[in-house]
């Protein structure tokens, strides 16, 4: 049982390049989330998808787009990467209300 799988684990980009971060869960969860974690800042919500076919902005959505491809997969796209987007990105999922979120191991992204 893999849980939440994120790819890639590491990536280095140049400013202006585009990239898609992939996330897949095998727990049949309805809701999926993308967070970024910066030193000393905890996790901040970028976008979330409460159910298949819906997406909504979180606290820090600027510069990102998302796609809920199906119930299992939720991708995060950087159209034109900026150094301020250097961070560790985490995907998470949950099934119902009052249930914990399950996290992937993260994607470490550096933008030069």
Residues contacting 74, CB < 8 A, separation 6+: 23, 24, 32, 33, 34, 49, 66, 67, 68, 91, 93
48 binds another protein (CB under 8 A): yes
Q: How many CA atoms lie within 13 A of 57 on its CB side?
A: 6
Minimum Å gap between C-beta 56 and another protein is 8
Stretch that binds another protein, among 19-27, 28-36, 69-77, 78-86 (CB under 8 A): 28-36
47 or 78: whose CB is closer to another protein?
47
Is residue 33 involved in binding another protein (CB under 8 A)? yes
Contact 105, 8 (CB under 8 A): no
Decide whether 85 or 94 has the Cβ nearer to another protein. Answer: 94
Closest CB 26 distance from another protein, rounded Å: 15
Of 17, 45, 61, 63, the one binding another protein by CB under 8 A:
45
Residue 81-110 contact track with another protein, rule CB under 8 A, x = bound: ---------x-x-x--xxxxxxxxxx----
Q: Cα separations (Å) of 61 from 7, 10, 26, 96?
A: 20, 21, 26, 24
């Amino acid at each position: 049982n893999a849980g939440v799988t994120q790819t890639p684990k590491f990536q280095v980009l140049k400013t202006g390049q585009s990239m898609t971060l992939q996330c897949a869960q095998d727990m049949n969860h309805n809701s999926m989330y993308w967070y970024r974690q910066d030193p000393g800042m905890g996790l901040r919500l970028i976008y979330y998808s409460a159910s298949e076919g819906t997406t909504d902005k979180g606290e820090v959505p600027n510069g990102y787009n998302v796609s809920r491809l199906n119930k299992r997969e939720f991708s995060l796209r950087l159209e034109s990467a900026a150094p301020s987007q250097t961070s560790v990105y985490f995907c998470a999922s949950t099934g119902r209300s009052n249930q914990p979120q399950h996290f992937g191991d993260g994607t470490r992204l550096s933008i030069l």
